[in-house]
Amino acid sequence: MQRRDKWNATSGVSRRGVLRLVGGATACGLTGGSLRSAFAQAAPHTMKLGDAEVFVISDGTMSMPLSFALPATDAKDVSALLATGRPPLTAFKAEVNVVVVKAPGALIVIDCGGTSDFMPTLGSFPDRLERAGIKPDDVTHVIFTHAHADHLWGVIDPLDDDTRFSKARHVMTAAERDYWLQPDLVDKVPDAVKGMAVGTGRRLKALEKRIEAVKPDAEIIAGVALIATPGHTPGHVAVRLHFGGASLIVGGDVLVNPVVSFQRPEWAWGADIDRDQGARTRRKLLDQLASERTHLLGYHLPWPGIGHVERKDTAYRFVPS
pLDDT digits (tens, 9 = 90+) for 172-209: 999 999 999 999 999 999 999 999 999 999 999 999 99
Best CA proximity match to 200, nearest among 153, 164, 155, 150? 153
The yes-or-no verdict on residue 32 having pLDDT over 50 is no
In angstroms, rounded to a whole number, what is the distance separating the alpha carbons of residues 246 and 281?
Answer: 24
Best CA proximity match to 276, nearest among 30, 72, 53? 72
DSSP string, 109-121: EE-----TTT-TT
pLDDT at 42: 83
pLDDT at 59: 98
H-helix or E-strand containing 284? helix 275-292
* Arch. (CATH architecture) of 44-320: 4-Layer Sandwich (3.60)
pLDDT at 40: 57
The yes-or-no verdict on residue 149 having pLDDT over 70 is yes
* pLDDT band at residue 87 using 50, 70 and 90 as cut-offs: confident
Cα 54 to Cα 47, 140, 279, 284, 291, distances in angstroms: 5, 15, 29, 25, 23
Best CA proximity match to 306, nearest among 292, 318, 286, 320? 320
Neighbours of 83 (CB within 10 A): 8
The yes-or-no verdict on residue 25 having pLDDT over 80 is no
Q: What is the mean pLDDT of residues 98-119?
A: 97
pLDDT at 76: 87
Nearby residues of 35 by Cβ (< 8 Å), 6 or more positions away? 22, 25, 26
In angstroms, rounded to a whole number, what is the distance separating the alpha carbons of residues 9 and 24?
Answer: 16
User: Burial level of 111, CB count in 10 A (0-12/13-18/19+)?
Assistant: buried
Task: Calculate Rg over the CA atoms of the chain.
Answer: 19
Instruction: Decide if 254 contacts 65 (C-beta within 8 A).
Output: no
- Average pLDDT value for the chain: 89
Predicted structure pTM score: 0.88
In angstroms, rounded to a whole number, what is the distance separating the alpha carbons of residues 33 and 289?
Answer: 30
The yes-or-no verdict on residue 48 having pLDDT over 60 is yes
pLDDT at 124: 97
Best CA proximity match to 271, nearest among 46, 62, 29, 104? 62
H-helix or E-strand containing 206? helix 194-207
Cα 24 to Cα 6, 18, 117, distances in angstroms: 24, 10, 18
Best CA proximity match to 171, nearest among 215, 136, 222, 127? 215
* pLDDT band at residue 20 using 50, 70 and 90 as cut-offs: very low
Best CA proximity match to 193, nearest among 310, 272, 287, 95? 272
pLDDT at 265: 98
In angstroms, rounded to a whole number, what is the distance separating the alpha carbons of residues 174 and 52?
Answer: 28
Instruction: Decide if 114 contacts 154 (C-beta within 8 A).
Output: yes
Best CA proximity match to 162, nearest among 234, 91, 210? 210
The yes-or-no verdict on residue 36 having pLDDT over 90 is no
209-256 pLDDT, tens per residue?
999 999 999 999 999 999 999 999 999 999 999 999 999 999 999 999
Strand pairing of 106-110 and 141-143? parallel
Domain limits, the chain: 1-43, 44-320
DSSP string, 164-213: S-TTSEEEEEHHHHHHHT-TTGGGTS-GGGHHHHHHHHHHHHHHTTTEEE
Give the max Cα distance, the chain.
Answer: 52
Q: At what angle do helices 15-27 and 33-40 cross, to 10 degrees?
A: 140
Considering only residues 120 and 75, tell me which one the structure prediction assigns the higher pLDDT.
120
